[in-house]
Amino acid sequence: MSKKISRLLVAVSLFAVLAGSSVYAQSSVVVKMDVPFEFRVGGQTLPSGAYTISALNPNLVVIRSKNGHQSAPVMTNALQVNQARSDGRLIFNRYGEFYFLSQIWTPGEAVGRKLVQSGAEREIAAVNAPTETTILIAGTATK
């Protein structure tokens, strides 16, 4: 019963955030990427393929497949560097065969986004260090 209540609270909270963020989303930058491997975002596993990432508000982004079949909203925190990056980057942590999206960097920005670690990644990270960090170069287009 408590799982159902927790899920309901998460769904209601997500709806409130999404409903209040439409103005922000209209001016957000979209990061486009081709991911050559299956990866995890939040509690979802997404197949390899073409994706876009757009900000719904300052702390929430959504990853959508180009074909529209997959979508994953995820909470993020800001990361700051001293100088703006010239290229966009997506950084994945790899634990054995599992890839987890960890950071999103938009070209020309000094502020990136660090994804809040999912329960699945926390479980794996508790017993294994990442075996590698994978960086993909991403393109952008304004919405």
Q: What's the confidence (pLDDT) of residue 114?
A: 95
Q: For the whole model, what pTM was predicted?
A: 0.75
Q: What is the pLDDT of residues 55-77, one digit of tens each?
A: 988 899 999 999 989 999 999 99
Q: What's the confidence (pLDDT) of residue 5?
A: 53
Q: Give the closest residue to 28 by CA, choosing from 76, 69, 70, 92.
A: 76
Q: What's the confidence (pLDDT) of residue 53?
A: 92
Q: Give the closest residue to 14 by CA, choosing from 55, 75, 81, 67.
A: 75
Q: How much of the chain exceeds pLDDT 70, in percent?
A: 76
CA distance 79 to 141: 21
Q: Are 101 and 46 in contact (CB under 8 A)?
A: no
